[in-house]
Structures are given as C-alpha cells and as structure tokens.
Amino acid sequence: MRGTPISLLALASVLGGLLFVPAAWPHGGVVEEDDVCIINIGVLKAHFKIYLPRDRGQVQFCEDLPLAGESVFVMEYLHPALNTVPVDFRVIRNTTGLGRFAEFRDIEGLGDLDPLTVFHPPPQRSPGVYTTLHRFETPGDYIGIVRTTLPGSDTVHTAVFPFKVGGHRWSWLPLPVLALLGLQWAWRRLGRHGKRRLATVALVVSMGAGAAPAQAGTATGQAGRIELEYASDPNPPVINRMHDWTLRLRDRDGQPLDECDVAVSGGMPAHDHGLPTQPRVRPAAGEDSGDMTEGGYRLEGLRFHMPGAWVLQFDIDCGAVHDTVAVALEL
Amino acid sequence: MSGRFGKRRIALAIAAPVLTAILVLAWAGYTRGTGPWGERERALIDALWLGHLAALPPDPTNAVADDPRAAELGHRLFFDPRLSANGGVSCATCHRPERRFADTFPQSVGIGPTHRNTPSLVGSAWSPWQYWDGRKDSQWSQALAPLEHPGEQGAGRHAVADVLGNDRWYRERYASLFGTAPGREPVDRVFVNVGKALAAYERKLRPGPTRFDTYAQALRKGVAFGALLTADELAGLRLFIGKARCIDCHNGPLFTNNAFHNTGQLSAPGELPDRGRFDGVNEIRGDPFNCMGEFSDAGPEACGELRFVQDGPETLGAMRTPSLRNLGGTAPYGHHGRIPDLSAVLAHYNEAPEAMIGHNETKPLGLSRQELRQLEAFLGSLDAPPAIEEQWLEDPFNVLKTEK
C-alpha cells in the first residue's frame, strides 16, 4: 500500500533532479549553489527559478526550459537593498552565436537591444520577490538581462544569463545513470524525512490537548545578566486569541530594571514559522497589575494560532545591561 | 432424514469457525483502525465540537451589528441586484445560500471576472480577518468592497446611496435605524452604513451541527458508537487529528485558526503567483474603512489585530486558513479555485511542493491512497447547512413577489 506513493515521490524527486541538470554547468549570471539557483545581479543575489505552471505544474527550472509556453520568472531577493529599487528585466534573442557561453561583454557588442528584445516589462519595485510572466512563442536561444541601480550610486548592477527554450535533442543521454543516482539519493533522503516525520508525530502526540497549560515562570538571559518573570494574562492563554503578558525584569542582584527596550520575536521552530502577530512591549511600572509595579512591563498583541512548541525571544536593552532571554512554551 | 441432518451439521461445523474467524478479523480491524480513543484524542476531538463555538463575538466597530432592524435591512440589501452596475448582481450571486454562501466557480464571477475563489460567509463573524488575504478587518468593511469592485458589482458608492435614497422601504428603514435619511448624509457615511447593515445580516450565518458534531457530542457523554460515523470516516478523523496534521491549522470548532499560511499552491494560468497576505497587510493598513479609521464605531483599543499585525516575509504567498465546515457543493477549492475536488486538495498536501514564492509551511505527509480516501470521507462528515431560520435564506424580493 505504502509502496506506491513512495516510489512516485522518488520518481518525482528524480525527475525534479533531472530538470535541474542543465543548470549544473554555471554560465552567465545564474549559478546553482546547494541545490538552489542563484542569480548574481552584480554583487546582489537572489534565488532564481522559472515555472511553466500550465505545462509542468510546480516543477522548477533553473534556466533552460523544456518547451515554449507560459513562463513565470521568480527572483526572491537575498539582498535587502533589492527590496526598494526598481529592477529591470529583459529577454532578448541570443544572436551572439556563443550559445550558453554568452556573457555581459557580448551583450554590449550587440549594440541596440530593442530589435532583439522579445520581452521587456516596465521596471518593478517589489519588496521581497520579483515575479513576471512571459509566454514564449517559439523555442530557441535567449538571453535574460537583469539590471538595477542602488540609490546614491551610478553603478549599474547587471546579470546576464543565456538560456534555451525547448529542443534538448541530446540531453536524454546521461539520464539513465543520473536516474539511478537520483533514485538512490531519493531513497536515502526519504528515510531522513520519514524519521523526522515520526519525531514530529511523537511531539504532537505528547502535546497537551484542549485548554493550553498555564504559562508563567522565570527565565534567565543567555548572558546571565537579566532575569525575566512572565505571566500570561489570561492564564492559561487561549489558542488563537489575542492576549497580553505581564513581564518583570530584574538584574543579577534582584533589583528591578526599568526603562528597558524589549524587542520580541519568536515562532514555532518545528514549523519554520514565526509569530502570527507582531507583539510589542511597553513599560507598565506604576500600573495596577498585582506586584508587577516595579520593573514591570506589558507584552501586548500576542496570539498563538496553533498548539505545539513555541519559542519567544526577548532582546532586552537596559542601557548599561543587555541580554537575550528565550522562553519555550508547550501549548 | 438423518442424511440431511448430517449435512446440516457438517455445514455448521464448517460455518462456525469461518464465521468466528471473520468476526475476530473484523473486530481486530475495528480496534486497530477506528477503535476506542485515548484520552488525548478525545480531548482533541472535543475541541472541534461545534458546541464549543463561543457566542457571537461582539463587533464594537459596528454599532448596529446586533440590531434586528439592521439585519432585516441587510437581508434585503444582500439580495438586491440593483446594487450593481448592470442591475443583475447581488451579494447572493456569488454567496449563494444553497451553496453554503459560496459558489461553484473557480473564481467569483460578478459583472466580470475576478481572481479569487468565493469564500463562504458562514461563520465569518468569528474571524478577525476577511478575504483570503485578510485585506479587510471587519464584516462591514468587507461588504463594501464588492459593491465597487469592477469585476463584482461595480456600482460605486454614489449609485448605492441613490438606490437607498430612491426606494421608500430602504429610506424609511435607514432613517429609523441611523437617525437620518440616506439623502441627507455624506455619501461615504451612507455607503458605510450599507456595509454595517449587510454585516448585521451576515453575522446571523452560524454553522449548523454536522454528523461529526453528533459523534463528538456522543463521545463527550461516553456513548459514541461507530454507527454515527462510518469506519472510513473514523479512520479519517484519527488521521485528521494525528498523522495528517490537519489540526495544526484547521483547529477549533470552526476548523480554522484564521491565520495566514503559505501552502505552495500553483499560480493561476496567465497570472503571477499570488502574494496573498503580503499585499493584504499593505491594503488593510491603508484602508480608510479599517478598524482605526473614522468610520469605525470603536476606539483603537478594539483594534489589537490591526495594531499588532504581522507583516514579515512569511506573509508572502500566505492565505487565510478556510473553515472546513462549508465544503459541501462548493468545489473547486483553493484561493484560485484551481483544485478541482477534495481528493486533489489532499493530494496537494500529501505532496507539499515547494512554493513558487515564499515558503510552503507544510511538509510531505507520506499518506497512502487508502489514508487519503479516509480523510476525504471524514471531511464529508463536516458538512451541514447553516443554523439559521429558513426566512433568512430566502430572497426577500422573491417572497415579496409571491405575496403580491
């Protein structure tokens, strides 16, 4: 029963691996690093991938596309400077005669690019990720050109990457060998995944159910300089309901710490996601909240949207004293 | 005579052990696949029971939210096609009462095409966010957008105000509810009040008890028998709260955490990958009709969700977890309606492909075909019509015609 999906998954992994094969030879501005395709726009980096959603669903391509059709280009910025600047993307027909070895200087030699241009959307300023869509009408050799300029500089950062659309007549040759290697790799990889999944299931099994357990306690910073006393309000917290925490900060000698800046981050490590809200901490000294009057703070806008293991990290800056306190919760 | 008797005895001698074997095997199968629940599992199932759905949460941003006169006004507005550019599209065109207040198109179709699948309105009063990308933070503010959206009703707020001003029934109801005739108020105020009346109606759309709830209720009392749910449904429930990890996001009595997650869905043909919550956060912050805006009837203290909204990179490609209580007859599924049926939805989660943009939070599940079928069977036990008096499901204009 279980054999079928596993072998299908393995096959899918192998096929996925194969489709990345042409990218194993770095050329131009796009290279493969650790199974991820990277575009180097000058010194600025972004994850790069192309999809053929209509024809190939969720299969990613690094550069070369197996067929002409509706293509979605995705650049996920790795350099934050790219979030704020317009990025110019253009596809031209590759008439350099150099095929996949065409480089930046070969583009310069082409002179006016407009007659060769097949696709040139207006420059896009898009925080986080650049996406654009082009439908290739004919197979052939193309060159992608990405350009941008950072504020306060005249330097034009450029990536040039030649790629093929359709027509891999010879590329099936190494397939059998690669298929075997890929299959072996997929089996091993699946084994690891399976183990991890079991571990997570075990975690879920061990977690408390129904009402979340009470959340109050004391935690000491990594540097041992600051002690954080915390209590959820209401306690225990209700899953998926906005609520506050009362906090109290003390130094090593037990003296209350007022006027500290506290930044909160966190999430669920097992799910690779952060907090669903952006909670903030404000001083609450003098407010009527039990004994939390001195060194007292209020953490507002907290919400846990699922049961499981959560981590909250408090970066505390009290001028003379800094520390980072982590609080692990099991909801 | 004796020969016949002997034959019968032989038959019995063969049948008895065979029958026993079948019973033993069936019992073994029963206890292994769907047998009694542990304490933790009972608690997880109980947490999904509709009986735990809190009383209707107040909406302090809408002063008429719980005014029956507003619900009556909203009911008629909801079905009124005059509130559209072509006079043929009402809220009920896409939010069809007989389809759990959703529809059967991949993407909503109003006076033109749109980009997203119609979400059900049942239970939406319990959600702090409206729309797939949560670009609205109240039901009344959500109700305004389709009235002006060029693909939905496209009427514009002036046309909406005119419809109210020129209809005697509306004029009288509006004046008695809001204290001023619609013609004497600024157009934005009339527009907002239309949204608030619509919301007062939509707040009544409470999910109804399903077969699952009957089972969960019986389980609380300790009298749950397998017969309330089939063996496949029970096995699916076990997967739902366990191995398949559905309950991570589809939790609570509405089967949703109302949070935003990237689940790696494919982009629609001819469209760029949907940025989802990433854009939704920007929209809600700039929306004059949000909780902090001048048209809200509450102070900023009621706007915790908006004030502490998460806008980090994880919102890229994230969409709101839909409730699983209104799946019946509302296929196709997903924010683009690109997933034809429930088995395809489950296959997608089982595979958990890498997201086109952002990061798919789900992980491959490795479920067998049988397990996927059981999950699908369980989802079938979550469907029921909304718990609301029949009169609210009917088109008041049809009722008017029949009465004449």
Closest residue to A129, CB basis, from B43, B252, B316: B316
Terminal C-alpha separation, chain B = 80
Whole-structure pTM value: 0.79
Does A278 sit within 8 Å of B308, measured CB to CB?
yes
What's the pLDDT score for residue A85?
94
Question: A-chain residues within 8 Å CB-CB of B364?
Answer: 9, 193
Beta-carbon contacts of A269 under 8 Å, excluding residues fewer than 6 positions away, are A309, A311
What's the pLDDT score for residue B393?
96
Nearest CA in chain B to A194: B366
Does A128 sit within 8 Å of B316, measured CB to CB?
yes
Does A239 sit within 8 Å of B312, measured CB to CB?
no
Nearest CA in chain B to A277: B310
- Coil, strand, or helix at residue A82? helix
- Coil, strand, or helix at residue A3? helix
Question: Which value, in Å, is the radius of gyration of the alpha carbons in chain B?
Answer: 25
What's the pLDDT score for residue A173?
54
The minimum CA-CA distance between B80 and chain A, rounded to whole Å, is 36
CA dihedral B339→B340→B341→B345, nearest 10 degrees, is -20
The minimum CA-CA distance between B400 and chain A, rounded to whole Å, is 43
> What amino acid is encoded at A30 in this protein?
V
Question: A-chain residues within 8 Å CB-CB of B259?
Answer: 240, 276, 305-306
- Inform me whether the C-beta atom of residue A202 falls under 8 Å from chain B C-beta atoms: no
- Coil, strand, or helix at residue A157? strand
* Half-sphere exposure for B65 (CA within 13 Å, toward CB): 18
- Coil, strand, or helix at residue B149? coil
Does B257 sit within 8 Å of A306, measured CB to CB?
yes
pLDDT tens, N- to C-terminus, chain B (404 residues): 445 556 777 777 777 767 776 665 555 444 433 457 999 999 999 999 999 998 899 999 999 999 999 999 999 999 999 999 999 999 999 999 999 999 999 999 999 999 999 999 999 999 999 999 999 999 999 999 999 999 999 999 999 999 999 999 999 999 999 999 998 999 999 999 999 999 999 999 999 999 999 999 999 888 876 689 999 999 999 999 999 999 999 999 999 999 999 999 999 999 999 999 999 999 999 999 999 999 999 999 999 999 999 998 889 999 999 999 989 889 999 999 999 999 999 999 999 999 999 999 999 999 999 999 999 999 999 999 999 999 999 999 987 776 65
- Inform me whether the C-beta atom of residue A255 falls under 8 Å from chain B C-beta atoms: no
Beta-carbon contacts of A4 under 8 Å, excluding residues fewer than 6 positions away, are B368, B369
Token pair in block for residue B182: 């619609």
Compute how many other C-beta atoms are within 10 angstroms of the C-beta atom of residue B251. 21
Closest residue to A305, CB basis, from B43, B259, B313: B259
Question: A-chain residues within 8 Å CB-CB of B261?
Answer: 273
Does A272 sit within 8 Å of B359, measured CB to CB?
yes
| Model ipTM value | 0.80
What's the pLDDT score for residue A290?
53
Compute how many other C-beta atoms are within 10 angstroms of the C-beta atom of residue B263. 20
Does B270 sit within 8 Å of A5, measured CB to CB?
no
- Let me know: does A129 contact B279? Beta carbons within 8 Å: no
Compute how many other C-beta atoms are within 10 angstroms of the C-beta atom of residue A327. 18
- From the candidates A13, A36, A70, A131, which should be mutated to test the interface with B, based on the most B CB atoms within 10 A? A131
Does A131 sit within 8 Å of B357, measured CB to CB?
yes
Tell me how many degrees the CA angle A195-A200-A201 measures, rounded to the nearest 5.
95
In total, chain B counts a number of residues equal to 404
What's the pLDDT score for residue A314?
94
> What amino acid is encoded at A86 in this protein?
P
What's the pLDDT score for residue B27?
52
Question: A-chain residues within 8 Å CB-CB of B368?
Answer: 1-2, 4-5
The minimum CA-CA distance between B124 and chain A, rounded to whole Å, is 15
Question: B-chain residues within 8 Å CB-CB of A280?
Answer: 308
**Rounded Cα distance, B214 and B198, in Å:** 32
Residues of chain A with pLDDT under 70: 1-28, 167-180, 182-183, 185-212, 285-293
Does B248 sit within 8 Å of A308, measured CB to CB?
yes
Per-residue pLDDT tens digits for A134-147: 999 999 999 999 99
Tell me phi and psi for residue B230, to 5 degrees.
-75, 165
- Inform me whether the C-beta atom of residue A309 falls under 8 Å from chain B C-beta atoms: no
What's the pLDDT score for residue A188?
67
The minimum CA-CA distance between B21 and chain A, rounded to whole Å, is 24
Closest residue to A210, CB basis, from B46, B275, B354: B46
Closest residue to B313, CB basis, from A128, A193, A201: A128
Closest residue to B308, CB basis, from A1, A132, A277: A277
What's the pLDDT score for residue B5?
56
Closest residue to A74, CB basis, from B242, B311, B357: B357
> What amino acid is encoded at A243 in this protein?
H
- Let me know: does B386 contact B121? Beta carbons within 8 Å: no
- From the candidates B126, B279, B308, B315, which should be mutated to test the interface with A, based on the most A CB atoms within 10 A? B308
- Inform me whether the C-beta atom of residue A43 falls under 8 Å from chain B C-beta atoms: no
- Inform me whether the C-beta atom of residue A3 falls under 8 Å from chain B C-beta atoms: no
The minimum CA-CA distance between B339 and chain A, rounded to whole Å, is 12
> What amino acid is encoded at A306 in this protein?
M
